[in-house]
Amino acid sequence: MSSLPICAVLHQLSDALSQHDEVVLEAPPGAGKTTLVPLELLQHPDLAGQKILMLEPRRLAARMAAARMAEQLGESVGDTVGYRVRMDSKSGPQTRIEVVTEGILTRMLQDDPSLDGYGLVIFDEFHERSLDADFGLALTLQGRELFREDQPLKLLLMSATLDQRVIDQLLPEAPLISSEGRIYPVDIRYLGAVGRDQRLENVVSRAIEQALEEESGSLLVFLPGQREIRSVMSNLQGHLPDSIILTPLYGDLTIQAQQQAIAPSPPGQRKVVLATNIAETSLTIEGIRVVIDAGLSREARLDPASGMTRLHTCKVSRAASIQRAGRAGRMEPGCCYRLWSENQQGQLAPHATPEIMSTDLTPLALQMARWGVADPAELRWLNQPPEAALTQGRELLLRLGALKPMETGLQLTESGALMALLPLHPRLAHLLLVGWQSQCVRLACDIAALLSERDPLSGDADFERRLHWLRGDIPCAANQKGVLQRIRQLSQQFYRLCSRHLSTLSQRSVNLPETELCAMLIAQAYPDRIAAKRSDVGGDYQLSGGRAVRLADSDPLAKYRWLAVASCGGMQGQSADRVFLAIALPEKLFFHELSGLVEQHKVVEWQRQQARMCCELQRRIGVLVLAREALAEVPVKEKNQALTEMIRKQGLQVLPWTQEINSWRQRVMFLHRSQPEGGSWPDLSDQALLDTMESWLAPWLDPVNHINHFDRLDLAGILQGLLPWPLPSELDKLAPVRLKLPSGHSATLDYSESPPVLAVKLQEMFGSTQTPVIGYGVAVKIHLLSPARRPLAVTQDLASFWANSYRDVQKDMKGRYPKHQWPDNPQEALPSDGIKRNKRH
């Protein structure tokens, strides 16, 4: 072990921890940091016999790290070195180094913010930036500040690739210790990107066959998920020599299957390990000297539009690609085949997006409430949790009864405090609470266990079939026996947790068949996913949260009107999600066991499809209406407010406008725009009318209940009422409808333009040198027309037109219209609208 690269910096690391309470260690894969650093620091004088707590992002990594450290000490796991992960722990009274998964740290801090008895917390593989690691670090920093002044808790962040800028923001005083790592070179070979017409699994299978021919040693193949792993295994089985062992590696495998994947190959055989990103860090798989990287990973991301978490297949970051390639050079020189181009490598994001920025924050919101933090700014974060996602999480906790609104803000309820003790998502924790209270906790534990793991069955979405499979009523395939055993063990663990934490809760017997109990429990855990059928045929449903979902038309569940949906999802941007797991939900439950989810709403709103007002009392679950009845008395004020809001959305065109009303309004607007300062002509523009509807329109809307009822409004009278005295009598004087012309006729003024337009035949303006003025000294814009009423000229200065532009018009028009007057001196000619020539005497 003394040959491992990390040994060169262990003394420097120890000195740094003596002088600082926080240290950052950067060391590449294979340097030995995970297994050597905790053992080296165990005897550090500042720890004074205290324990070391080391966090690992994955259960497999935690077990393996503990096993290797125990092996180096010549002991068994559970002696000096132990571990704690979900469903499994090995530690004892002599344990000095505890390796735990990150979520366990949060629960330890909630129970004891000082972490009494621990002198050092190591965050291993911190570059992965899981939500639990970020939150655990934030709580550790505050707990240390509040409770460890006398004997500060020391922190060590270890990683192969760090975004140093982010670390510097949070821990500016922490020294950075760097280890050079192994010297084994890794030859990078770019095979080019997977084409759009190619299947990833087929390309990876060919790359594996190529690497087996070109290179010696075992292969580690990175794929985004289990589906791709199964497809590649299917492609290769029967096509590889007997000397090649093909094995998967992902988080949902049994411990035995995971250990088989990382065990050395038997002599004379080679191994091809098909892995998710679980193999990126902390694990050394002996014999691996070839890596094939598909360049993809699958991440859970919160869709803000629906409030649901979806799995996205994403390109890996540049840092992750370096981590993966490094797996090939841990034991000897190796090579890495990348399924993209060298140019694309430079385009990868430097680091992965921290989980806190993209995931469901409901568990975080619950743990923050238990910690007593209302504002996330009270804690020190590497990245502040996004406000929108945190708000969505709190809204769900309100529906689950974990939080309640108080004058001082949201407060943790008694149920919420119990839910926070259970190491499950708050939805499943609430399910267990309801199961305990309803005396069906065994069933609740089975449901929670099934929902905590990947769906073990394919085919229809019926959750009840999964329960029968779990109970042994449906045969279990040989390759699923390990999954079945793990789910049963998980159910037992949940039962023990309930017995430990929920024993103080009162219970009541619920007399329902098991199928209905199951539906009730799922609905309680997923109140926003109660689904109602949208039509009598097909599998289209709407969730109580508002989202559209769909069942396959052939699914047996599609015949039911109501469903409790446990799992659904789809691609971002799709109009409807697919239902993966659900159970029929009897409507009678809404009146008894699920009555707490039903809310009564007085609904006064405009229904756009029916173009009418809806005034009724509704019993609803979210957006789904269970029952409705018309209101005996229509609340006029609320109804009129709904009408004004509808008009704001659809526009003023829903009102009964006529040409006469529009012309009147244009005249008033002309005077409003041209009035001197302090004038009293009102603003009747669209925006002004929309902004002030409550004062001028709402009082007149009492008779309106349908789109056709707007015709009953005396819109002209309503608008004229906006003119204070004496403006109505001044309107015709200042903004006349028609103007008298020199010819003796009159013409209509067009107030739709500014300034208003007077369109008149040129001959009717002979003898006039003064442009007509209206309003507050505004000269009208005269459109001078030909005998055929086509435009000849536009002017606001008649005298200038006669003196300058008229000659060109005369020259052009005289030959075209010889019977009309085109005098040389139009200022003195008699006006006329006909062809008779008149001379001034």
pLDDT in tens, 289-313: 999 999 998 877 766 655 566 677 8
- Residue 834 scores a pLDDT above 70: no
Lowest mean pLDDT among 445-449, 523-527, 590-594: 590-594
Give Cβ neighbours of residue 170 (< 8 Å, ≥ 6 apart): 137, 380, 381, 382
pLDDT at 759 over 80: yes
213 and 299 co-located in one domain: yes
* Residue 526 reports pLDDT greater than 90: yes
Is residue 653 located within the same domain as residue 744? Answer: no
Q: 570 lies in a domain?
A: no
Residues 838, 808 contacting (CB under 8 angstroms) = no
Q: What is the mean pLDDT of residues 745-772?
A: 90
- Distance between CA 101 and CA 99 in Å, rounded? 7
**Residue 572: inside a domain:** no
Backbone angles phi, psi at 218, to 5 degrees: -90, 160
Section 570-589 average pLDDT: 84
Tell whether 121 and 239 lie within a shared domain.
no
Q: For residue 75, how many other CB atoms are within 10 A of its CB?
A: 13
Is 577 inside any structural domain? Answer: no
- Tell how strand 81-85 and strand 97-101 pair up: parallel
Mean pLDDT across the stretch 191-196? 87
- Helical spans, DSSP H, in 250-379: 255-262, 318-326, 342-347, 362-371
Mean pLDDT, the chain, whole residue set = 89
Quick one: three-class SS letters along 501-523? HCCCCCCCCCCCCHHHHHHHHHH
Please count the other Cβ atoms lying within 10 Å of the Cβ belonging to residue 177: 22
Same-domain status, 647 and 674: yes
As beta bridge partners, residue 293 has: 222, 338
Query: How far, in whole angstroms, is CA 171 from its chain's centroid?
Result: 29
Q: Average the pLDDT over each of 2-16, 194-208, 566-580 and give the range with the smallest value.
A: 566-580
- Between CA 624 and CA 361 the distance in angstroms is 25
Q: What is the pLDDT of residue 835?
A: 62
**CA torsion through residues 422, 426, 432, 434, sign:** positive
* pLDDT value of residue 332: 85
Q: Which domain holds residue 455?
A: 363-516
Please report the pLDDT score of residue 281 as a whole number: 64
| Tally of CB atoms within 10 A around 744 | 10
Average pLDDT over residues 829-840: 65
DSSP state for residue 759 in the 8-state scheme:
E
Q: What is the pLDDT of residues 56-80, one digit of tens each?
A: 988 888 988 999 999 999 999 999 9
pLDDT digits (tens, 9 = 90+) for 348-385: 988 888 899 989 999 999 999 999 999 999 999 989 99
Q: Please tell me whether residues 201 and 105 are part of one structural domain.
A: no
Alpha-carbon gap, residue 626 to 585, rounded angstroms: 13
Phi-psi region of 87 (alpha: psi -120 to 50; beta: other; left: phi over 0): left
pLDDT of 284 > 80? The answer is: no
User: Of 212-226, 298-312, 481-495, 599-613, which gets the smallest average pLDDT?
Assistant: 298-312
Place 838 in a pLDDT band, splitting at 50, 70 and 90.
very low
Cα(396)–Cα(504) distance, rounded to whole angstroms? 25
Using the predicted structure, report yes or no on whether residue 509 has a pLDDT greater than 90. no
Average of per-residue pLDDT across 182-198: 86
| Same domain (yes/no): 193, 329 | yes
DSSP for 436-478, written as a single string? HHTT-HHHHHHHHHHHHS-----SS-BHHHHHHHHHTSS---G
Q: Are 565 and 581 in contact (CB under 8 A)?
A: yes
Worst-scoring range by mean pLDDT, 305-319, 409-423, 563-577? 305-319
656 touches 647 (CB < 8 A): no
Q: 25 and 144: one domain?
A: yes
User: What mean pLDDT is predicted for residues 553-570?
Assistant: 92
In a domain, 839, yes or no: no
Same domain, residue pair 668 and 614: yes
Q: Which of 156, 178, 200 is the last residue of a domain?
A: 178
Residues 663/751, Cβ–Cβ less than 8 Å = yes
Instruction: Let me know whether 506 and 389 are in one domain.
Output: yes
Q: What pLDDT is attached to residue 137? A: 93
Beta strands 97-101; 51-56: pairing state? parallel
Number of domains in the chain: 5
Clarify whether residues 742 and 680 are in a common domain. no
Binning pLDDT at 50, 70 and 90, where does residue 772 land?
Answer: very high
Q: What is the pLDDT of residue 471?
A: 93
Whether 607 is covered by a domain: the verdict is: yes
- 49 shares its domain with 170: yes
**CATH code where residue 90 lies:** 3.40.50.300
Confidence label for 259 from pLDDT (cuts 50, 70 and 90): confident
Token readout for 365 is: 């919101």
* DSSP characters over 77-117: TTSSEEEEETTEEE--TT--EEEEEHHHHHHHHHH-TT-TT
Q: Parallel, antiparallel, or unpaired: how do β-strands 88-90 and 97-101 relate?
A: unpaired
pLDDT, position 181: 66
β-strand pairing of 781-785 with 757-761 = parallel
What are the DSSP calls for 134-194, one per residue?
A: HHHHHHHHHHHHHH-SSSPPEEEEEESS--HHHHHHH-TT--EEE-------EEEEE--PP
Give domain status of residue 529, yes or no: no
User: Which residues are CB-neighbours of 321 under 8 A, at least 6 positions away?
Assistant: 293, 295, 338, 345, 348
For residue 522, tell me if it sits in a domain.
no
Is the confidence at residue 573, as pLDDT, over 80?
A: no
778 within a domain of the structure (yes/no): yes
β-pair type (403-406, 409-412): antiparallel
What dihedral angle (degrees, nearest 10) is formed by the CA atoms of 710, 712, 716, 718?
-80
Confidence of residue 841 (pLDDT cuts 50, 70, 90): very low
Say what the pTM is.
0.78
pLDDT band at 340 (very low <50, low <70, confident <90, very high): very high
Does 636 lie in the same domain as 725?
yes
**pLDDT for res 78:** 93
User: What CA–CA distance (Å, rounded) separates 508 from 436?
Assistant: 9
> What does the pLDDT read at residue 840?
43
| Cβ contact 350:315 at 8 Å | no
Mean pLDDT value of segment 724-751: 90
* Contact yes or no for 223/250 (Cβ under 8 A): no
Q: How confident is the model at residue 574 (pLDDT cuts 50, 70, 90)?
A: low
The single residue listed with the structure tokens 């007509």 is: 772
Tell which of 481, 516, 551 closes a domain.
Answer: 516
Domain end among 703, 735, 767: 735
Q: Distance between CA atoms of 525 and 492, rounded to whole angstroms?
A: 19
How far, in Å, are 153, 747, 797, 828 from residue 801 at the CA level? 92, 20, 6, 14
Residue 23 has pLDDT above 50, yes or no: yes
